[in-house]
Chain A
Amino acid sequence: MRFFSLLSCLVSMITFFHKTFLVHMNGLSTIHMQYLMKRSIIILTTFLSIGLAGISYAGYLDDWPDDAICSWMEQASPPEYIVDEAIKRNLDCVPESVTKTTKNESKIIIYDVVFSQTDLDDLLSQSMGKTDYDFSQYKLAKSHNKLQCFFRIRRVVYENKDEGEIEDWNIAEGYLVIDGGKVNIDVNRSRWRMSGLSDDPSYLENEVNLRLTEDGHLVGKMAYFTHHINTGEAPRSPFYVELIKHKKSKPLNYNSSKKESAELWIDVEEWAGGVLLLSNCKTK
C-alpha cells in the first residue's frame, strides 16, 4: 500500500510537469497556465497527503479502536501490520503463541527423561499386549492338581436390580484347564456365542491371561465380547476386562476331591457385567 501511495505521488508529479510542458508547447495564455498550475498543485497535495498517510501505519492505526483491530485479527490471515499493532497494544485477541511466534523469543528447555533404574528395567521388560497383567498383587496357587472345568460366561444386568440379574443364556461356554495356576481354554471345545469377531478362536486361545489364586479366585485380564453382531454388521472389538477377587464371587475349592463349582463375578460396564461359572471341576 505504501508503494502504491508513493507511486501515485510520482504519477501526479509527472502529470503536472507534463501538462505544464504541453501548455508551453501549445502557446496557451498565462491565465490558463496559472489555472492549470493551481489545479495540479491541488491534485499533487491530495496525492502527497494520501502518500504520507500511508508511509506510517502506526499513525494510521493509532485512531483504530481495540475492537476494530481485534475484528481484523479474527480474519483468515490478518495482515502483518494488524498483527503487529495488536501485539503492540497487548490485546487479548492475540493468542499468546502468536505473540511468541512474532517476537521469536523462544526459551524452550529440553527436560530429559530420567527413569529410576527399577522403573526402566520394569518398563523395558514389559510387552505391549492388551492382556498383560501384574499378578504380583495376588498370592497365586501353584501346587495343585491339574484341573479341568466346564465353564460358562453369562451376562449380569443391573437395570432392574442393584444386585444384578444373571441372564439365562451363555454368551461363552466350553472347557478350561488349570495347570500350575495358569488357565488355558480348550479352544477345540469352547466358543464365544456373540458372532462377529468372537467367532475367531484366537481370542480364547491368545487373549485370556488368567491365574488361580490361593483362595480359589481367577484373576487377570481377558478379551470379552458384550454385543451380538448380526451378519453384515460392522464388527466390534472385545473389551479387555480385569478379573479381580470380586466381593460377590464364590471361589473354587480346588483342593477338594469332589467335583467343585465356582461363581466368579466380572465388572464390565455400568449397566451390565458378567459372571464366569465353573462347574464339574475335577482332577484331570
Chain B
Amino acid sequence: MFLAGVPIPGYTKDKPPGNISVILLEGGMDGLTAVPPIGDPNLIAMRKTITPKDFLKLNSFFGLHPSLPNFSRLMAKNNASVVHATSFPYIKRSHFEGQNLMEGGGLSPFAEKTGWLGRSLDLAQVPGKALSLDMPLILRGYKDNDNFYPASIKNSNALISNLINLISMAHSKDEAEIFSKLSKKSSQASLTPRDPVSLAKYAGKEMSKENGPIASVIRIGQFDTHANQVSDDGYDKNGNHAKRLEIVDDVIAGYREGLGDAWNRSIILTLTEFGRTVAVNGTRGTEHGYGSAGLLAGGTISKSRIIAEWPGLSKKEQFEGRDLMATIDYRSVCAACIERSLGLDHDRIASEVFFTPKLPRVYDYIFS
C-alpha cells in the first residue's frame, strides 16, 4: 500500500479539492465476469460456464457479480460506477509490460521512468510519502516524495536486524545513512496489518485527516485465472476470480470506513493491465485478453451508471477474434479522476501526465 501527496505548509499552492485512491488489480481482471453484459446475446453463448448465475441486475444490459456486495450498496447510494470495455493502450498481453504501462501511463511499456500519479502530484505541487520500502512506479515523478512502510520486522527476527546493522556498517556516507534509516524504520512498531483490507482502512483514516495524504495505492494480485476461475460446485462465490473480487469489494468498504466524512471528496478507481479472453478454456479459466472493466467509487460520484461504448461480443466484434474490444482509453478515466481530485486542467493532464494532447475528456460521463 502506498500513501502519497501530503500537503506541505508553505510549499503547496492550494490544497487539492479531493483525494484519489488507486487499486491495482494485477493479473488481468475479467471485466466480463465482474460486470457481465447480460443483455448481449453472445455472452451466454460464449461463456455460459463462467458467467455468475446469481448476479445483481443493474439494468437490462449489465449485471454485477455477487462477490461485490459492498460495491452494490454504493451503487444503490449513487456512489459507484463502472467503465466497461476499456483498457490502457496495450495489446500484447504480457503482465510485465501491461503492469508497467498501467503504472507508467505512457504509450508503450518501460517507456516512462515515472508514474502517472506521481507526475500528477508533481503538477499539483503536492509532494508525497509512499508507504512502501521502495517507491512504486505509479508514484514516481517527484524528487521530494518520501517513503515509509508500516512494518515491524526488527524484533521478529534478530538475524534480519543484525544483517541490516552489518550492511549499514559496511557502507559509508549516503549508503550508510540509507541503511541506518531503513533499520530505524523497520524497528518502529506498527499495529497495521499488511493485508489489503486493513491497509485500505488505514489509508482512508490517514487521508481523512487535515493535511493528510492526497493519494493512496493498493495492490491486489492473483487475478490471472487461467484455471478454476469458477468452482465446480456451481456456487458463484467459490471460484478463484470471485474470491479476488471479494477482496476488491472489502478494500472499497475498508476505504469507505476509514475515510469517514472525507468520503464525500474521494474517488477510488481500479486498474488492471488487461482483460481476459471472451471464450473459456479447457480448465474453467480464461487467457490474457485486452478490454476489461474499471470500478469507480466515492462520494464525488453523484449518479451511479455504466459508461461504455459497447463493442459487442460476436466473433467479428472481438479484438483479434478473441478478446473484448477496448473502446475507451482508460487513461481518459484516470485523467478525469485526477481532474476531479487534484483540480488540474484536463489539457495539462493529457499533455504533461499522459503525453497525449488529444486524449478525450470523459469527466462529464463520470462526474456530471
Contacts and interface: CB of A to CB of B under 8 A. Distances in A.
Interface in B299-343: 303-310, 319-320, 325-332
A234 B152 CA distance: 6
B107 A97 contact: no
Contacts of B193: 197, 234-237
Contacts of B58: 111, 113-115
A102 B360 CA distance: 9
Contact of B256 (A96, A128, A232): A128
B91 A95 contact: yes
A101 B356 contact: yes
A110 B75 CA distance: 14
Contacts of B128: none
Given A96-B326, A101-B359, A119-B56, A77 B107 contact: yes
A100 interface: yes
A96 B211 CA distance: 41
Given A95-B91, A111-B59, A76 B106 contact: yes
A233 B156 contact: yes
Contacts of B13: none
Contacts of B325: 96
A19 to B, nearest CB: 44
B87 A124 contact: no
Given A123-B76, A236-B195, A111 B87 contact: no
B75 A113 contact: yes
B96 interface: no
A26 interface: no
B205 to A, nearest CB: 15
A87 to B, nearest CB: 12
B142 interface: no
B305 A113 contact: yes
Contact of A104 (B91, B290, B358): B358
B109 to A, nearest CB: 8
A104 B360 contact: yes
Contacts of A77: 106-107, 111, 355
Interface string B177-197: 000000000000111111101
Contacts of B355: 77
Contacts, number: 156
B151 interface: yes
A123 B73 contact: yes
A257 interface: no
A179 B151 CA distance: 41
B59 A113 contact: yes
B165 interface: no
B90 interface: yes
B148 interface: no
Interface string A99-124: 01110101111111111100110011
A75 interface: yes
Contact of A111 (B75, B257, B305, B359): B305
Given A96-B325, A97-B89, A101-B358, A111 B198 contact: no
A106 B72 CA distance: 28
A106 B198 CA distance: 39
Contacts of A235: 190-193
Contacts of B303: 112
A147 interface: no
A111 B106 contact: no
Nearest to A132: B69
25 contacts: A75-B108, A76-B108, A76-B112, A77-B111, A77-B355, A95-B89, A97-B86, A101-B332, A102-B358, A104-B358, A107-B327, A110-B306, A112-B303, A115-B56, A115-B57, A119-B56, A119-B57, A119-B76, A126-B73, A128-B70, A231-B155, A231-B156, A232-B154, A235-B191, A237-B193
Given A77-B355, A104-B360, 18 more contacts: A78-B107, A96-B319, A97-B327, A97-B330, A100-B360, A101-B360, A108-B362, A109-B308, A110-B306, A111-B62, A111-B308, A123-B73, A124-B73, A126-B73, A197-B193, A236-B193, A236-B195, A237-B197
Interface of B: 56-62, 69-70, 72-73, 75-77, 86-91, 106-108, 111-112, 151-156, 189-195, 197-198, 250, 253, 256-257, 290, 303-310, 319-320, 325-332, 355-356, 358-360, 362, 365
